[in-house]
Structures are given as structure tokens and as C-alpha cells.
A and B are shown apart, each in its own frame.
Chain A
Amino acid sequence: MSTTPLRLKELSKKEDLLTGGHRLCSGCGAPIAIRQILLAAEMPIVAANATGCLEVSTTIYPYSAWKIPWIHTAFENAAATISGVEAMYKALKKKGKITERIKFIAFGGDGGTYDIGFQSLSGAMERGHDIVYICYDNGAYMNTGIQRSSATPLGANTTTSPAGSVIPGKMQPRKNLTKIMVAHGIPYVAQTTPAHWRDLMTKVRKALEVDGPAFINILASCNRGWRTPTDRAIQDSKLAVDTCFWPLYEYENGRLTINYKPKEKKPVVEFLKTQGRFKHLFSPENEHILERAQEIVDREWEALLREEAMWKAEEEKKEQ
């Protein structure tokens, strides 16, 4: 089978496997990412979806926006559910009841992935199923009305970490789930955003080509929770990358590649200031939180740079 080149002209001829008419909010980052993912796939996909915005808004009975086989069972178990689907595929393939090559994707938001679905995700990755788990991370429980999750950035105002007169929003930095997935020693782990569509689609293709588990973390803006106008999804994703709040990188068999290094790393406030959820941080008394946010970004970015340099040095040594 020939592979569709990652060019808009060719891609526009492919069928959209998530149809329009779903009830996700206008300006939501999630369906943009999902459409890119399904456009990137060159083989039949069966998907499992954790409970969340993406699930409830795309399958309001008797309608379904999905043109691929799709299953939702509960919130915390998209990885376990897709494990079962993949196991049945293996069983039926072994018996000759299925001959075609099918790949499996689980979708979850940050709540269903970083928090309640964390155990199930970790288990599925350790077991080595041939699946791709894709998290669309919008940084809070948006479906239930913007509650903080372990993916919520430091300082963010959410309905369960409200910016109050005593506590100015979420006081803990976000969990670095991508790195935790790297620690599972799986063949492919990556981070991307829908604003970087070619990067996203390349990563999806790599993840699908891998024999074994893969994990992709996609920053997906939510204008309701981020308190931004509905036309900001792409610009804000770009700012997340340009400030190194959300670097584009991948681990192939444990080897790190940073896919994009901004020529000039913007200060993290450039990403924060356009979003209402961080508005209170710009009061003088909260300046220390902005400083801490910058420190976290710097530390993580520098660690990535150091690690990549280490890999390069090691490879050069081997070549000599």
C-alpha cells in the first residue's frame, strides 16, 4: 500500500473518519487532533475511548461521528479495554479468522490518562500490547466542568483549585506523564500538538508502525477551561511549544530526539498571559508563581537538551 504523503493537498482527498456534526465545542483542540490522527493512519484502526468530552460529544445516540470501529466502556480503562480488543485480534489472527492488518488506538483526556486511568495505562504498556495510547491533554477535567487534574499546570484557576484570596489557584506543578511513559521502556513515546500537524501525523505513523506499545501526549487546548476565545487553539498550542512549556520531542527505543528547538525561547508568560485561567497570576502578589512556572519550564527543557546532547555524544563516540 502506498503511503499518502503528508501534504495538505493529498491529505485533503482522504476521507475524514471523524465526521462533522459532533457536539464538541467550536475551537476545541481535541477533534482537530483526532482528525489528524485518523488521516495519518494508513491501515484500519479500532479505537477505545475513555469517558470524557471526546466520548460524550461524538456518540450521542442514535448518532456516532466515528467511521471506524469504536468502543467506550468507562473512564479509567481505555487502555485495558483496548488491550482486550487487541488480544482478541491476536487470538483470531492466530486461528486464521482475520487476515488483515489492524491497529489499535486508545484515546483519553488527561483525567482519564494521568489520573484515574493511570494504572490501567501503565499495566497495558508493561504487558506490551500492540497498541497506541493517545492522550489529549487539555489540563483539567473539562467534561465535568474544569476541575484540576494532575495535568493542570501550576497556578491554573480551575473549579476545584480556584484562585481564591488565600490560595491562588493550583499550587502543584503538573505531572510529567510523557517522561513516566518513557520510564516504561516502551518502543515509542512522543509529545506534540495539533498546531504542528506534520509533526503530529509523523509521530502517529511512527507509533502505528511500532510493534508493541506506543504513547503520544497531545496538548489540546480547551477554550472553556483555558478561558480563551474560540479561535485561539492553534496559536496557543504554538505558544506552548515556543515557550518550551510543551516541547516537541520523541523517544524511539529509549533514544530522545527533540523535534523542534525554538530559535528564541519565549518566556512562559507569553503562553500564560493569553489565558484567563492564569489571569490572577499577573497580580503583583503572585509574581513568585510566575517565577516558579518559568523555573519549572527551564529545568525540564534544559534536562531535555542535556539528555539529547548525551545521546549525540555517545553516538559520536561509537562512530569513532
Chain B
Amino acid sequence: MGKRLAVTGNQAIAEAMRQINPDVCAAYPITPSTEVMQRFASFVANGKVDTELVTVESEHSAMSACIGASAAGGRVMTATSSQGLALMWEMLHIASGMRLPVVMTLVNRALSAPINIHGDHSDGMGARDCGWIQLWSENAQEAYDNLIQAIRIAEHDDVRLPAMVCLDGFIISHSIESMEFLSDDLVKEFIGEFKAKNPLLDVNNPVTYGPLVLPDYFMEFKRQQHEAMLNAKDVVLQVAKEFEKVSGRSYGLFEEYRLDDAEIAIVVLNSAAGTFKDVVDEYRDRGIKVGLLKPRLFRPFPYKEVAEALSGAKVIGVLDRADSFGGFGPMYMEIASAMMSNGTNPVMIDRVYGLGGRDFMPEHAAQLIDELKEILDTGKVTLYKDYLGVRE
């Protein structure tokens, strides 16, 4: 049994990083993730970790230095949010294309303009196609657990890909909650030693990283990346199983909440899932068969498993905390893709909520369940995509 403490989400992440004790961290301050590197810098300054902290002049350089450090042959971590991730975007593809197991915390925040420092998922969803494994977290406990597991997943021989762990800015990063920590020794043992592959610092076996690859070989590189990403799914499950042994906390590809016999299904990521579960309970008490699915692994997306879990649902309400303007929200598109191959043909609606940190309240959850119940009873849909919790 580990220590139970009341901490902020950022503090939980910083603690995980202290316990992981990476070789190099390169980071740049940005709200709301700043506290992570601030706390980590004090661990460095006080000798609590052996890490070389590179306090770069931009997020672009943060990810560039992470890439250089990872290729050099060691464990590398960083953290960012929003515009920081956007500035890294070019380098995110390069980290994954070079198959470097950099692990990053993304404290989710809205992208400008207008500038807004609060939590939504437009940053993480914008990085959807960058070739990074994405694990999403409802609360500080999950963020902490995901970050420790991410090291094992990213560095696994069958994967060797960068991974990001997402948690909601302010709602989780700055709220204090009670959570359980593993002991330092247990984390150290769980993550193991870093195994370098073709490191730059092996000067006796010089390697070339980042050559020019023309049409004759380019697709073979991408194919290998695709396969590594597919492999990640099984590795996520294996690592979760091992993690359960040491922590007692169980993780899958997603969480199902009262979904077994549900006719109405909700799909929602991160902190809003916590709010929604309470409302599911209220409706269940009233005899309405509603359940919830909270994705954890968003890249690679577990289409088959999600489709199976939702196969009993007749109507599905998907919540998106990011918009793809002129299209459905990113989560909706994944769920639609999953259900297409399933053959059960549920009615699906997309509701964009919580942008720029707009509170997602129990009444919003109730409003959505009421609407889905109406669709279930009448078969009529007014709008497939709409905003929830907005002033018109």
C-alpha cells in the first residue's frame, strides 16, 4: 500500500517524474503545465534526481533537445500545454518518425485565438496524427499511473514510440485531490533500466539519424511506424496488468461504467467523465439504461474493442472537448469509425462542450441524457452535431 496524499494534478505528475528520474528533461514554461517543470526544477536543484534539466528558449527547442537527448541514448521526459504543443508540432512528427521513446505530459488547454489558458482538448486532438501514443486521464491518480506506465509502453521493444499523457488543465492540474503514490523503489523497479538502441553516443558504432529518405524507401519507414503503433495496444494491456500487480489499480484500453445493458451510451474523455458518472447513477436509479465509456488509449485507437463495448447501445452521445470546425469532433469520428464496422447501426450524436475551460456541470450531462432518451423513444434527431452549454 502506497502513501496517500492530497496533491494537485501537476504535483502528481512532478512526483512521478521524480520517481522515474529521467536522464534528461528539456522544457519551457507554459500555463497550466508550468508547475510540473517548476517542481521538477526544485528536485534537480536539491539533488532529488540525477536529471540534466535543459531550460530551453522555446517549446520547439524543448522537443528538439528531447529528440537529440533521446537519440543520444537515455530516458527523456518533458511537459507542455496548448500553444507549447502547437509550437512543438513539427518536432512531434520527428520524434515519432525517429522512433524515440520520449514521454511527455500534456496538461490540456485550449488553443488560441482568442487566447484562453483553461482546459479543453484542442491541443491534444490537434496532435492526433503526430504518431505519438496518447493516454488520457480522468484525474490526478490516473495521470500519475498513466505516466509511469507510459515509460514502459514507449520503451517497449515492439513499440519504441513517443507517448503523451493528457490531463485536463486547471480542472485536474490545479485541483487538489487525494491519491495514492507508489514507493520510489517500486517505481524504479517497475520502469527498469533504459535500454539504448543505436545511441548517438556509441562513438565506436557511428549511426546516422534523420537521413533524407526519398520515395524508394519512405513508405517502408511509415509502414514500420504504423505496425509499431498497432503493437502498442497489446503492450498497453500487458503493462496495465503488471501495473495492477504492484498498485492494485486496474487499467484497460478504456473504462466502462454501467455499460453492460445500456441502451443509451455516453462517450466522454478525462475529467468530465467523473461528473458524468454521477449523473449516470441518478438516471440508473430512475430505471433508465444509460452507461458510459471513457477512452484511455486514444492513439492507437482500439476500434474493435470500443465497438464491442458499445454494441448493445441503441443511441450514443459522444462528447468532444475540441471542435473540428466544419466537421464532427475528433472523438465522434473515432466512435463513428468504430461503430461502422460493427453492424449494430446505433444513432450517434456529437456534442461539443467545455471549450476554453467552460464548466461541464451535472445539468449538462442530464440535458444530454434527456435528449438521447428522446431520440431513443422517437427515433428523431434534430442536430447530429451541436454545442452543449453555450449561450446562443
Report which A residues bind B (CB closer than 8 A): 44, 46, 48, 55-56, 59-62, 64, 66-74, 76-77, 79-92, 94-95, 98, 100, 102, 119-120, 122-124, 126-127
Contact = CB atoms under 8 A, between A and B. Distances in A.
B211 A64 contact: yes
A16 to B, nearest CB: 13
A84 B210 contact: no
Contacts of B60: 76-77, 80, 120
List the 4 closest A-B pairs by CB distance, nearest first. A84-B68, A123-B57, A84-B65, A88-B72
B203 A73 contact: no
A92 B73 contact: yes
A84 B203 contact: no
Contact of B72 (A64, A79, A84): A84
Contacts, number: 166
A48 to B, nearest CB: 6
A80 to B, nearest CB: 4
Given A73-B64, A88-B76, A100-B203, 11 more contacts: A46-B201, A56-B212, A61-B213, A68-B206, A69-B200, A70-B206, A71-B68, A74-B90, A80-B56, A80-B68, A92-B23
Contacts of A56: 212
27 contacts: A46-B200, A46-B201, A56-B212, A60-B214, A62-B217, A64-B211, A69-B200, A70-B207, A71-B209, A71-B210, A74-B64, A74-B94, A77-B64, A81-B64, A81-B67, A83-B56, A84-B69, A85-B69, A85-B201, A87-B52, A87-B68, A88-B24, A91-B52, A100-B203, A119-B57, A120-B60, A124-B61
A72 B209 contact: yes
Interface in B192-221: 200-203, 206-214, 217
Nearest to B198: A69
A70 B73 CA distance: 13
Contacts of B203: 44, 46, 68-69, 100, 102
A84 B54 contact: yes
B146 interface: no
Interface of B: 23-24, 26, 50-52, 54-58, 60-62, 64-74, 76, 90-91, 94, 98, 200-203, 206-214, 217
A84 B201 contact: no
A89 B217 contact: no
Contacts of B211: 59-61, 64, 72
A76 B217 CA distance: 25
A120 B64 contact: yes
A103 B185 CA distance: 35
Contacts of B57: 119-120, 122-123, 126
Contacts of B73: 88, 92
A73 B56 contact: no
B383 to A, nearest CB: 42
A73 B26 contact: no
A83 B26 contact: yes
Given A71-B209, A74-B90, A87-B54, A80 B200 contact: no
A75 B213 CA distance: 16
Contacts of B69: 84-85, 87-88, 91
A124 B90 CA distance: 19
Contacts of B70: 84, 88
Instruction: From B73, B76, B98, B214, name the one whose CB has the most chain A CB atoms within 10 angstroms.
Output: B73
Contacts of B98: 73
A202 B22 CA distance: 38
Contacts of B206: 66-70
A92 B202 CA distance: 12
A110 B58 CA distance: 21
A285 B140 CA distance: 71
A91 B23 contact: yes
A66 B203 CA distance: 12
Given A73-B91, A92-B74, A102-B201, A84 B26 contact: yes
B214 A88 contact: no
A316 B207 CA distance: 51
Contacts of A60: 211-212, 214
A239 B201 CA distance: 40
